[in-house]
Amino acid sequence: MMESDHKKPSYQNHNGFLMPMGFPPEGFISGINYQAQPDDIFVVTYPKCGTTWTLYMIWLICHDGEPLPVTKTLNDEFPHLEEVGQEKVINLPFPRVIKTHLPYDLTPYHPQAKYLYVARNPFDCVVSFYHHTKGFVKHYDFAEGTFDDFFECFLAGAVDFGDYFDNLLPWSEHKNDDNVLFLTYEQMKADPKKAIIQIANFLGDYFADKIQNQEVLQKVLDQSSFESMSQDQERWSSKRPAHMTPFIRRGKVGDWKNYFSPEQVKRLTKKFKLRTAGTDLEKLWIL
């Protein structure tokens, strides 16, 4: 497919950084100018890499495993910085948990703040992102777009929140920093209990103590399971038209095999190898 042939969603362009259409432009400006505080906990991801799952694990750890009531949304509890701007974040109660998809150089930084980064292999990411974009009312102009169309956008880095690798690579350079916990979606899938304990320990002693209680740990594990989170999905994303793919969709590693043509596998593998050459990310996923 020629670059010019494929259907593209529209984006908001902030000096070359692409944001979803329909996000208030002032939210981005205000968000990137937020002054990070020592006790902030940032959950940083590229879109579709397990953001909601991770945030909900944190919410459950904070609430002893009791589920988020259906009258609330996770986005209100843990706002998306570059969507809502800093006002809402400043007024959050402790622990201030902040969601962001910003790349390293745009994310507000404080040496004592904590940054939990979750990465996912780009193959499953693009499939999930395709479904997300198609189902996102703010991308109504992509309603007829196909996976092949979206794949071209992803490969060119012309998608919401920019190029996948521009997000992953700089963050991964900081993965051993004291205030960074770097997890992968695949690790979380393989051993969610371990991930919950790692996250609680990272949040601090108060949360590490909580999760030592086996009953609480089990509740967090059960409530954050794919099956449980598939219920009452308006808690995660109320913006999706009912007929669209649900937000909590497949929750699998390797779903990409149902979508990629052999040529697409070659092209994304090539880009992956090129961008991750000389880093230990090459070994992160067996592609």
142 contacts 134 by C-beta, under 8 angstroms: yes
With contacts defined by CB under 6 A, name the span among 21-29, 41-49, 61-69, 170-178 that binds ligand A3P. 41-49
- Binding residues for ligand A3P, rule CB under 6 A, total 20
Q: Which of 101, 131, 132, 139 is catalytic?
A: 101
Residue 53 in the binding site for ligand A3P (CB under 6 A): yes
The one among 30, 86, 121, 128 contacting ligand A3P by CB under 6 A: 128
Residue 184 in the binding site for ligand A3P (CB under 6 A): no
Residue 45 in the binding site for ligand A3P (CB under 6 A): yes
Distance CA 7, CA 104 (A): 29
The one among 9, 31, 47, 122 contacting ligand A3P by CB under 6 A: 47
In angstroms, what is the minimal distance from the CB of 259 to ligand A3P? 11
The one among 249, 267, 271, 275 contacting ligand A3P by CB under 6 A: 249
List CB contacts of 107: < 8 A, sequence separation 6 or more: 42, 44, 100, 115
Check if 101 is active-site. yes
Rule CB under 6 A: which of 202-231 touch ligand A3P? 224-226, 229
What residues does 100 pair with on adjacent strands?
Answer: 44
Residue 160 in the binding site for ligand A3P (CB under 6 A): no
49 contacts 120 by C-beta, under 8 angstroms: yes
> Token pair of 202, please?
């990272």
The one among 8, 27, 31, 48 contacting ligand A3P by CB under 6 A: 48
Burial class (CB in 10 A: 0-12, 13-18, 19+), 65: buried
Angle between helices 262-276 and 122-135 (to 10 degrees): 110
In angstroms, what is the minimal distance from the CB of 111 to ligand A3P? 26
Distance CA 53, CA 188 (A): 9
The one among 50, 135, 145, 162 contacting ligand A3P by CB under 6 A: 50
- φ, ψ of residue 54 in degrees (nearest 5): -65, -45
List CB contacts of 209: < 8 A, sequence separation 6 or more: none
Residue 99 in the binding site for ligand A3P (CB under 6 A): no
Q: Which residues in this chain contact ligand A3P in the complex, by CB under 6 A?
A: 45, 47-53, 124, 128, 131, 224-226, 229, 248-251, 255
Active site residues: 101
